[in-house]
Every structure is written in C-alpha cells, then in structure tokens.
C-alpha cells in the first residue's frame, strides 16, 4: 500500500512544472477550492476600487440611493468638477513635476553612492540607509520646517522636491545597492584590465548593465513621491499643492461632495495603477529587494 503510494509520488514528481497542483488525494476538489479562494482574494482587493470608480460616475442622488448601487445612469459631471472648478490640471502637473524632479535628482545622486557602497564595501552605510526608513516622517519634517520657514521658502517647489528626495534617496540607494551586488565583479575588472579607470568602468560597464535596476528604483521612487502626503501637507502652498493634499478640498466641514471626492480619488490613483500594470515586474522586485537575503 505505502509502496504503491510512494511509486505514484516519484513518478508524479517530474511533473511539477505542470500548472495543476499535486496533492495526493482529490486533486480535482483541491483545484476547485483553490480557484474559488483565488477569486475571493481578487474580489476582496478589487471590489473597493471598483466601488470607488462606480461612485465617481454617479450623481449625488444616486450615491445616496441604495437601489442605484449597481444600476444607474453614469455621468461625467464629477470629473467636470474635478478638472474645472477644482483646477486639478494644475495639481496633476504639480504632482508630476515634484515626482519627476525628486526622482531624477535622487537617481543622479543615489546611483553613484550605491555603487561606491557596494563596491568599496561600506557595511556601516547600509545600516544608515535602513535607519532612514525607521525614522518617523514627522521627526524629519519638524527640523526642515524650522529651517525652511526661517528661510521663507515654505510653499515653493524647491522645498517640496527636496523633502521628497529625503525619502527617495535612501530608497534608491537601497535598491541599487542590492542590484549592484548581484552584478558580477569580473566584468568591471576585465574593463579595468583593458584600460578603463574605475569611473570609466562604472559608466561604461556597470551603468548600462543596471538599467533594469535603475528602472525599478526610479519607478518606485516616483510612486512614493506621488503618494506622499505628509510632507506636502506641511510644505506646499496653494500654488504648489500636490494631488493628495488637493483632495481635501472636497471634504468640507458640513458636507462632503462624495461624487467629486471619488472622482478626485480616481484621478489620483489611475496614473499609478497604469504604471503598476506595465511595470509590475519592476515594482515587485523593488519592493522585495533585499528581503530574501535576510
């Protein structure tokens, strides 16, 4: 009995690449169970987002009407409010500008830093980068606010970009470090044998090879900047407001314009979701960078 079972198992083992799972009993029942669970999981994560999108297409009356939960006449009026009265084009531009500028500058500073840390072994520096993750944002914000308020710079783009760089830089250094460490050192040594300076080896060999790593770091840093709320809340002025701060315009004390609010939320999240759709691989590798090395 046990002998036949083991036999079956050993013959089944080479088939592990096939899509079907491979428990011993009731494989059929298991795959049905698994498929059901997967659907439940996907629904759990997607349903709220779908609901947000539906609500953004409803009139206020329909939002208040339970019977119109799924069947209603869609309207774009909320989006007209968002782009018209609420002046969202300006805020979208602000968010993009701050995101691109802080990401770009951080990449320029962060890539060489990460390279030197990974190549000229600086163990302590890795711990420092981790420290940057631990410090609560508010404790960075208070000193900066002091300085920039004294310089009368609060409300300008410079301060906002600079503050987002404080988040982006450690992130980029961290991701790029783990990427550079995975590059074979021999290639650069070969380059140096062939007469390249260390800087030349970095520019001509390591840098072109690390394009995927740079993409990962850049995309993540942009997303973090786009989503950042706390720094922008304190440091932005009415002209430099980014999207997460601007959404509060829809939340008045007495009443909330739910349709407008949801349309604004959709406008904020859609660009990021499009990036996520196309750059899934990079985002995942960036978020899990260093996690498996222990």
Partner 1 sequence: MIFVALLIAFPVGWTIYLSLTDASGSVRAPSDFIGLGNYAEVLTDTDRFWPAVGRTVFFTGGALFFEMTIGMCIALLLWRPFRGQKWVRVAILLPLVATPVAVGMMWRLILEPNIGFANQALAWVGIPAQPWLSGQATALPTLMFIDVWQWTPMVVLILLAGLSSLSDEPDEAARIDGANAWQRFWYVTFPLLMPVFITAILLRGIDALKTFDILYATKGKGGGSFNEAETLNIYAYGLAFDFNDYGMSSAVLILFFMMITGCIWLLTASKKRTNR
Is 283 a binding residue for partner 1 by CB under 8 A? The answer is yes
Cβ(246)–Cβ(43) under 8 Å?
no
Distances (CA, A) of 143 to 121, 151, 245: 31, 12, 21
Answer yes or no: are the C-beta atoms of 212 and 282 closer than 8 Å.
yes
User: In angstroms, what is the minimal distance from the CB of 241 to partner 1?
Assistant: 12
- Of residues 138, 185, 187, 239, which one binds partner 1 by CB under 8 A? 138
How many residues sit in the footprint of partner 1 (CB under 8 A)? 90
13 interacts with partner 1 by CB under 8 A:
yes
Sign of CA dihedral 253, 254, 257, 262: positive
Contact status: 258 vs partner 1 (CB under 8 A): yes
Looking at 88, 144, 179, 282, which residue binds partner 1 (CB under 8 A)? 144
Q: Decide: is 10 part of the binding site for partner 1 (CB under 8 A).
A: yes
Applying CB under 8 A, does 247 fall inside the site for partner 1?
Answer: yes
**226 lines the binding site for partner 1 (CB under 8 A):** yes
- Number of other CB atoms surrounding residue 16 within 10 Å: 9
Question: Of residues 31-60, which lie at the interface with partner 1 (CB under 8 A)?
Answer: 34, 37-38, 41-42, 44-46, 48-49, 51-52, 55
Backbone angles phi, psi at 155, to 5 degrees: 105, -10
Asked if 268 is part of the footprint of partner 1 (rule: CB under 8 A), the reply reads yes
Whole-angstrom Cα distance, residue 31 to residue 40?
A: 14
Residue 87 vs 288, nearer CB to partner 1? 288
Quick check: 287 binds partner 1 (CB under 8 A)?
A: yes
Q: What angle do CA 118, 121, 127 make, to 5 degrees?
A: 80
Check residue 73 for interaction with partner 1 (CB under 8 A).
Answer: no
Residue 125 is a binding residue for partner 1 (CB under 8 A): yes
Q: CB–CB of 39/223 below 8 Å?
A: no
Query: Taking CB under 8 A as the criterion, which residues in 78-107 touch partner 1?
Result: none
Q: Does 133 bind partner 1 (CB under 8 A)?
A: yes
In the complex, least distance from residue 277 CB atom to partner 1, rounded to whole angstroms: 6
How far is 236 from 245, CA to CA, in rounded Å? 9
CB of 190 to partner 1, least distance (A): 26
Residue 75 in contact with partner 1, rule: CB under 8 A? no
DSSP sequence for 91-146: HHHHHHHHHHHHHHHHHHHHHHHHHHHHHTT-HHHHHHHHHHHHS-HHHHHHHHHH
In contact, 216 and 110? CB cutoff 8 Å: no
List the one residue from 99, 170, 213, 218 that touches partner 1 (CB under 8 A): 170
Separation of alpha carbons 88 and 268, rounded Å? 10
Region binding partner 1 by CB under 8 A among candidate stretches 86-94, 177-185, 195-203, 221-229: 221-229
Rg (CA), the chain: 25
Q: How far is the CB of 9 from partner 1 (least distance, A)?
A: 6
Footprint on residues 181-220 left by partner 1 (CB under 8 A): none
Q: Which stretch binds partner 1 (CB under 8 A): 80-88, 167-175, 186-194, 210-218?
A: 167-175
Report the alpha-carbon distance of residue 119 to residue 198 in Å, rounded.
10
């Amino acid at each position: 009995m046990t002998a036949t079972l083991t036999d079956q198992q050993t013959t089944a083992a080479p088939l592990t690449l096939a899509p079907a799972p491979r428990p011993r009993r009731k494989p059929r029942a298991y795959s049905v169970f698994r498929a059901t669970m997967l659907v439940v999981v996907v629904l759990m994560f997607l349903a709220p987002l779908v609901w947000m999108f539906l609500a953004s297409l409803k009139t206020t009356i329909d939002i208040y009407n339970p019977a119109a939960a799924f069947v209603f006449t869609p309207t774009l009026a909320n989006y007209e409010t968002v782009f018209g009265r609420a002046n969202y084009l300006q805020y979208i531009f602000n968010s993009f500008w701050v995101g691109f500028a802080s990401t770009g500058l951080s990449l320029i500073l962060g890539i060489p830093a990460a390279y030197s840390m990974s190549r000229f072994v600086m163990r302590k520096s890795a711990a420092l980068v981790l420290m940057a993750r631990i410090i609560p944002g508010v404790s960075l914000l208070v000193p900066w606010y002091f300085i920039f308020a004294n310089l009368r710079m609060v409300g300008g783009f410079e301060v906002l970009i600079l503050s987002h760089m404080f988040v982006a830089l450690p992130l980029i250094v961290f991701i790029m470090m783990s990427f550079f460490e995975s590059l074979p050192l021999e290639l650069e040594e070969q380059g140096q044998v062939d007469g390249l300076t260390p800087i030349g080896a970095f520019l001509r060999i390591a840098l072109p090879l690390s394009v995927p790593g740079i993409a990962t770091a850049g995309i993540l840093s942009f997303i973090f900047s786009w989503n950042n709320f706390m720094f922008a809340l304190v440091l932005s002025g009415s002209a430099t407001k980014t999207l997460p701060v601007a959404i509060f315009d829809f939340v008045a004390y007495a009443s909330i314009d739910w349709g407008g609010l949801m349309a604004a939320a959709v406008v904020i999240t859609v660009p990021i979701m499009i990036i996520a759709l196309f750059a899934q691989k990079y985002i995942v590798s960036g978020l899990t960078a260093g996690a498996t090395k222990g």
